[in-house]
Structure 1
Amino acid sequence: MDPIDFTLYLVTDRSLLPAGKDHLETLEQAIKGGVTVVQIREKNADTAEFLQIAQQSKALCDRYKIPLIVNDRIDIALAIGARGVHLGQTDMPINVARKLLPEGTIIGISCNTVEEVLRAKEAGADYVGLGAVWSTQTKKLTSPPIGVRGLGVMLEALDSSNISAVAIGGIKSSNLAHLLHGSTSQTEHRLDGVAVVSDIVASPNPEEAAQRLRSIFISSRLVAGELQSKSTPSRDDILMKACTIMDTTRKLSPLVHQMTNVVVANQSANITLALGASPMMATAPEEMGDLSKLSHALLVNIGTLVSGSLQGMLKAGYFVNAARNPIVLDPVGIGASDFRKNSVSELLNSWQATVIKGNAGELAALAGSSETVSKGVDSLGSFKDPVTFTRQLARKERCVVVLTGETDYISDGKCVVILKNGDPLLGKITGSGCMLGSCIASYCAAANLLESNDEYSGGSLDRGGNFLAAAVGAVLTLTIASELATKREGVRGIGSFLPALIDNVAALQPEDIRRFAKMKVVDSN
């Protein structure tokens, strides 16, 4: 038999059908929209009703040459000649089901942990359903959601196998790009498909819903392939793009939404204005949907995190991802408390960061590394191999990572840019790191505006080249401006240094970046 295309895996649920919608009508429209495989799930139907629905669905799927899989019920699968069955962890073991089913029948199983994936691999499953990724109303969860980051770890367990992987649980068109981008393992093992329930079944137009989901999936795969084949940019290439982004920021004045540390909100706003961008400070969860339509980038800084602000950050990131605009995450003092660690984990499982910026202590805590020690917002250590650490964290989180310190390291998961600019006074003023976050967000906003994304379903999540240059340009702008600020007449210490720094950021020119940049690019090889 032909192999199954798992790209868009529809799981039926008649309880979600809109008023006036029929199961078979919705199923046919979904298939026309691009569904590639169908699972019939009937948790509350008796055997006779389940059999009738399965027979009708099988006839419709056969007409369109779409494989049909039956959830749980091996007897129903046998009765209708289904292409496969999908089992849960408490259902019949795979080896027993294999003996009962005809040769060539596909068997899939739900997995929520790496251990379950390994057992499925050993038992000879044809595919695994990984999840639930997010909470869902279509099924009562017996285990906690694994999140996008958890998917990557589970995919690694499938390395060197031919088992297909499908993600399930709370997947919609608004979060699919984030899921596909963030779920790849460090060994580049990717999902073969996504299982969707409510976003198609509950839609008044299931054909359009399916088309939208499939388009995002295919576009994300194409972009990922293009990025994989790209060669490492040269130092001159990155600097040229960074200078273009600097000019674009001043010309277009992007609006940057900043959910930032209240201690330095004024400094963050002023540095944003000095760059040529426009700052917007807002935290209320209720207005995040509206604000995402106005802003060009989001900065999330957890410096003064409280439960109320966390809800705003969760909603803001969700809407900004949906708008395909960049998000910069600054996990200030993440190592200081479990609340901060858990909050950052929740944020990164809820939306995709474009850039993560932090010092050694903060990024070590985020990565779960014990190589450095963190106290409050300060880093008390450094990495033995910062190049490898930064590259690996960028690959793990699927974004650009900025490791700040006396020397700055910036990676997109392939190359690492090493920067050695900056005056010591920069590290002695309150909020210099927070201001850098504002610089990165402003330049990421401008980088995103450089490319039209009207027909680009992957959005900002995959424009790693531009965002690498944006991060490099932001670090160079602030650090070179700090060097020039100390040479200004009247600058005698941190009190006079801060206004001089802001003035120099505003006065800095692209030729200054090219002239003063102390920069090296390290290839992944």
Structure 2
Amino acid sequence: MAPPNPDLTLYLVTDSSLLPPGTTLPEHVRASINGGVTIVQLREKKLSTAAFISLGKQVHAITKELGVPLLINDRVDVSLAVGCEGVHVGWDDMDCQTARKILGPDAIIGLSVSNKEQLAKALEAGPTYLGVGPVYATPTKPDHNTPLGLDGLQQLLQHIPANLPCCAIGGINAQNAGTVMNASRSKTSPASSLNGLAIVSAIMASPEPAKTCKSLKSLIVPSILYKNPQKVNLTSYLLQMLRNFRENGPPLIHHITNNVSKTLHANVTLAIGASPIMSENESEFQDLARLGNSVSLVLNMGTFLGEEATKDLFINAIKAHNCGNYIVFDPVGAGATESRRNFARTIKEAGATLGNSMIIKGNEGEILTLAGENVSMRGVDGAGANSGRERERELAAIVSKLAKDCRGSTIVMTGPTDIISDGVKTFLLRNGDPIQTMVTGIGCVLSSVIAAILWSSKSFSDKLLATVAAVSFFNLSAELAANTEPRPAGPASWAIRFVDMLSKEPTEDLVRQFRIEEIKV
């Protein structure tokens, strides 16, 4: 019989010394599993053999009831006595082959690897899965090997076969879990990515383990689904993103935007569950950028005071928010005048130094201007209608190239068909309604929705699909507001209904109406 394929998504490694006062380990494990833990390793270094077995049986009764495997750290004898699902061993413990002979073919046997030499040996030993780390230094295992860091983690993952599950361990918590999952994504093959994260302190020391585990799992799951798209459809993925940013607390959106749309920006931001703040006071930028851990910046150049006057304002805002925050830049009217054109390209180049942190959203004329195409715009209106499959593909190629030129920035070209690309993947989005063009500022406030939902990306490590989710949700809400009976009398009544639509909780039925197509360019 082949050994089972364990779910490593959220892997709890226990340490009773970290438990909050008044808590028992079995109670903590139960709460953690209820919050989303998918596999448990009992690691209790200071217990006698008898005490270890007794505790193992108590914990196994819970994990078995809840359908989660229990592994014992190091001790094959304890695993046998407990009757649990397997062991996790290191290089100073019993070897994998011997453990397999003792525990049988259906046991789960994990093995730790910290370098290429250990990995080479591990691939010959035949473990069920690998624990890769430590990623960061951790006090829960003072004798650990030299931390890999994110670069070292990715280098090891390049050599792990796609059919061998692996999880990262070592110093991982809510602040860095998304970063670790994102960094694990191979530059050459999505197969060599992590299947999950093993976490000790962040769960064991939590006074609310169920809540902590729910939050941690939300940081991990979509990255795994992105790696294995066959396991989930795009609908489920996008729905999780839309729900996650609401569940994890309202992000703060710092707006530097045009005077025409400020009120609409604020209303839409509040409607979707985020918090707006309008400030062009440069003395506040540093403080605003560091308010909590969920801040985005919207930069809209609709109210343009000239290259020099606006340049310092925007550049200083970008510098302040270059601390892990997302920046959504809207180059309003970029092709209308030479001054706007030059300024928009200056901000694009400044944003290119941020790479993954910047999203550039504009209509066809604005994006083509940034791409270096010759465009004639009248005011801030778009320069064309991207209709027809051939034209869509031409524009998609330009958008993809611009994203690459901007070092990984995500580019959004709005129009009858919206085009979104990060230079690797490109999507066409077909939701929306023509009435959107009849209310001033509607196109501008899309930036606020993107900026808010991007915090799903900070958790889920994929800002491209967070942007796809945001634009699709925005445009479908506009479409439903225009076409749900009784239909609005005109643009003004539609705008009110549109904001109402944005305030509603996303559902699976709603997301199934997204019309999204991924294309190769």
TM-score (norm 2): 0.52
Whether 1:464 aligns to 2:464 is yes
Residue in structure 1 matched with residue 184 of structure 2 by the alignment: 183
Aligned partner letter, 2:91: Q
Q: Indicate conservation of the 8 Å contact 1:151/1:184, yes or no.
A: no
Residue 24 of structure 1, CA deviation: 0.9
Residue in structure 2 matched with residue 211 of structure 1 by the alignment: 214
Q: Are the structure 2 counterparts of residues 2 and 465 from structure 1 closer, same or farther at C-alpha, using a change threshold of 3 Å?
A: closer
Q: Indicate conservation of the 8 Å contact 1:248/1:446, yes or no.
A: no
> 1:70-469 maps to which residues of 2 (within 5 A)?
70-160=72-162, 162-185=163-186, 186-189=188-191, 190-222=193-225, 249-250=257-258, 251=261, 278=280, 280=282, 289-290=290-291, 296=297, 317=323, 320=325, 325-326=326-327, 353-354=356-357, 399-400=408-409, 412-414=422-424, 447=447, 449-450=449-450, 452-453=452-453, 456=456, 458=458, 461-464=461-464
Q: Indicate conservation of the 8 Å contact 1:131/1:167, yes or no.
A: yes
Residue 178 of structure 1, CA deviation: 1.8
Q: Are the structure 2 counterparts of residues 95 and 221 from structure 1 closer, same or farther at C-alpha, using a change threshold of 3 Å?
A: closer
Q: Matched residues in 1 for 2:87 and 2:42: separation?
A: 9
Whether 1:24 aligns to 2:26 is yes
CA RMSD of aligned residues (A): 4.7
| 2:123 partner SS | helix
Q: Are the structure 2 counterparts of residues 291 and 2 from structure 1 closer, same or farther at C-alpha, using a change threshold of 3 Å?
A: closer
Residue 355 of structure 1, CA deviation: 5.5
TM-score (norm 1): 0.52
1:259-306 CA-to-partner distances (Å, cap 9, x unmatched) read: xxxxxxxxxxxxxxxxx984757999x9975375666289xxxxxxxx
Q: Matched residues in 2 for 1:399 and 1:12: separation?
A: 39
Residue 118 of structure 1, CA deviation: 2.5
Q: Matched residues in 2 for 1:448 and 1:145: separation?
A: 39
Corresponding pairs, count: 327
| 1:96 partner SS | helix
Residue 36 of structure 1, CA deviation: 1.0
The sequence identity of aligned pairs, in percent, is 32
The answer for unaligned runs of 5 or more in structure 2 is 235-254, 266-277, 300-318, 330-353, 360-396, 412-420, 427-444, 469-518
Residue 76 of structure 1, CA deviation: 0.6
Q: Indicate conservation of the 8 Å contact 1:165/1:192, yes or no.
A: yes
The answer for unaligned runs of 5 or more in structure 1 is 231-246, 255-275, 299-312, 329-350, 357-386, 403-410, 417-444, 469-522
Q: Are the structure 2 counterparts of residues 94 and 448 from structure 1 closer, same or farther at C-alpha, using a change threshold of 3 Å?
A: farther
Residue 59 of structure 1, CA deviation: 1.6
Q: Matched residues in 1 for 2:328 and 2:52: separation?
A: 46
Q: Are the structure 2 counterparts of residues 465 and 248 from structure 1 closer, same or farther at C-alpha, using a change threshold of 3 Å?
A: farther
Residue in structure 1 matched with residue 506 of structure 2 by the alignment: none
Q: Indicate conservation of the 8 Å contact 1:71/1:85, yes or no.
A: yes
Q: Indicate conservation of the 8 Å contact 1:326/1:461, yes or no.
A: no
Q: Matched residues in 1 for 2:79 and 2:182: separation?
A: 34
Aligned partner letter, 2:111: I
Q: Indicate conservation of the 8 Å contact 1:447/1:466, yes or no.
A: no
Aligned partner letter, 1:9: Y
Residue 93 of structure 1, CA deviation: 2.1
Q: Matched residues in 2 for 1:291 and 1:57: separation?
A: 37
Q: Are the structure 2 counterparts of residues 102 and 459 from structure 1 closer, same or farther at C-alpha, using a change threshold of 3 Å?
A: closer
Q: Indicate conservation of the 8 Å contact 1:354/1:461, yes or no.
A: no
Residue 461 of structure 1, CA deviation: 4.4
